[in-house]
Amino acid sequence: MIAIAAYFNYEIWLMNVKIVVLNGNLKEDVYMIQPEGFVDPKDDRKVCKLQRSIYGLKQASRSWNQRFDE
């Protein structure tokens, strides 16, 4: 890629976004169990509905890429 950019005299840009996956919007409903430390002792079977992407979510990078393209 660098050789092609040099041949055609293209500029190369590099972005390092550390929290990129947290900026994606989810288009489908995703639920997760309560994180450790946030479990309600009265009802430990409750789940959380995600409003945004989180680290480790399969859809995280795709949802950010779609938002970036908007």
- Measuring CA to CA, how many Å separate 20 from each of 4, 16, 31, 52, 54? 28, 9, 20, 12, 10
When pLDDT is cut at 50, 70 and 90, the band that residue 38 belongs to is confident
Q: Tell me: the pLDDT tens digits for 8-36?
A: 999 998 877 677 777 778 888 999 888 88
Give the global pTM.
Answer: 0.56
Distance CA 31, CA 51 (A): 9
Structure tokens at 45: 């079977």
CB 5 within 8 A of CB 13: no
Distance CA 44, CA 67 (A): 34
